[in-house]
Structures are given as structure tokens and as C-alpha cells.
Chain A
Amino acid sequence: QVQLQESGPGLVKPSQTLSLNCLVSGDSINNPNVRYWGWIRQPAGKGLEWVGRVYTNGGTIYSPSLKSRLTMSLDTSTNQVSLKLKSLIAPDTGIYYCAANFGNSYDAFHVWGPGTVVTVSS
């Protein structure tokens, strides 16, 4: 059973770059049964916002509203999925979740990590 665990700095200053990692355990991030790894975020007390996805071949699709600031990638040496979001602003504050899509569905999030809290504040 694949398990995901996000990690990050917690507190980041405005205008800086956020770096998050998602450690995948129980399987390889190149598992052919996985179609993509995704990131979703949630401001406190609010709804879910799709951030983007990175396919197992390294291809990426980003939210149009974040595309200019966002980079996602796979690190096969550490079995981690990474997210970098630059030029941070206060609305980037929230819980960031990593999730996996298994190939039996074109677009769904079958497994989720517990999330990591990000606060953008000076």
C-alpha cells in the first residue's frame, strides 16, 4: 500500500520560494500503475484547490493561476515528488497535500498524504 508524507519549512516569508517534498513509501514513484502525482492545497477553513500534477514520465500540468510561479518534479533517487512555488504571497498560505492517481481512473486522487501546513508571513 502506497503511503505519502509531505514535508516543508512551515513558515516562509513573502516573496521567497516554497519548497515541499512528498516522500513515497511502499512503492516506486515510477510505479507503472501510477498515472501521476498531484498537489492540492487548502486554505484554512476553505475548499480544495488543485495545484498541479507531474506524470511518471516527468511531464507536468499546472493550474493556470499558478503556472508562472510553479515547478513540480520527480526525484527517483530519493523516491520523492517535489513542489517549488516562487514569489510567495499571503494567499499561498494553507495545507498542501500530495496525492497519487492510479491508472484505473484517468483523473482522481486515490491516495493522499496527511498534508503539510504552509504559512506565508513576515
Chain B
Amino acid sequence: QSALTQPRSVSGSPAETVTISCTGTSDDVGGYNYVSWYQQYSGKAPKLLIYDVTKRPSGVPARFSASKSGNTASLTISGLQAEDEADYFCCSFAGSYTLFGGGTKVTVL
């Protein structure tokens, strides 16, 4: 079982839009609508941002959105804010077990 593939880093200026990709296979991302995304600040536990590909838990700002096409899921941050600078991890159900992506560091310029 291989980790899902994410870009190591993305960056953007405040108010810009950034998108993080998460590429898997038909055995995980492409095969199930159970992709989730997590935000992690340095030294802190991850926090759920998105579940079931597109759903936001209550309290997560609407500027975070997500989608999936084929074997690739995407997280979009619209109107980037300084507080969005963090690591982001995708996660997918893979039949019986769960896979995480390698993580993407978002830098706000």
C-alpha cells in the first residue's frame, strides 16, 4: 500500500486561491467517495477540514472546498489568509484500510 501523492509545497499571496492535489489509484481515491482532508499546524494535532470528498464539518470556513475527479482529489483554499499557513494531508479509504498523503506545506507569501 503506497501513500497518496501530494505536492510537497504550494504558496500564494493573501486573497489568492491555491489548490492542493492528492493522487491515488482506483483502489483508493478513485474507488470510494471517502476522501478527507486535514490541516495541521506545527506541533499540533491534525484537524478535520473535509470529509466524504466535499463535506465541511461545522466551523470550517467556506473558503475551504474540495472535489474529486477520477483518481485525483483536490483541496482548494479561496481567499488565502495568513492563518492558512500550515500542512495539509489528504486521506482515503482503500477497501479495508486507510491511506494518507505525504502532506503539502502551504506558505502564505
Give the contacts of B90-107 with A (CB-CB under 8 A): 91-93, 96-103
Selected interface stretch from A11-19, A61-69, A83-91: A61-69
* B45 interface neighbour in A49, A64, A97, Cβ under 8 Å: A97
Q: Which residues of A contact B69 (CB under 8 A)?
A: none
SS class of chain A's interface: helix, strand, loop or mixed? loop
Give the contacts of A101-122 with B (CB-CB under 8 A): 105-110, 112-115
SS class of chain B's interface: helix, strand, loop or mixed? strand
Q: Give the complex CA separation of A62 and B97 in angstroms.
A: 7
Q: Which residues of B contact A109 (CB under 8 A)?
A: 36, 38, 46, 48, 91
Q: Which residues of B contact A114 (CB under 8 A)?
A: 44-45
Q: Which residues of B contact A47 (CB under 8 A)?
A: 3, 89, 100-103
* B93 interface neighbour in A40, A62, A106, Cβ under 8 Å: A106
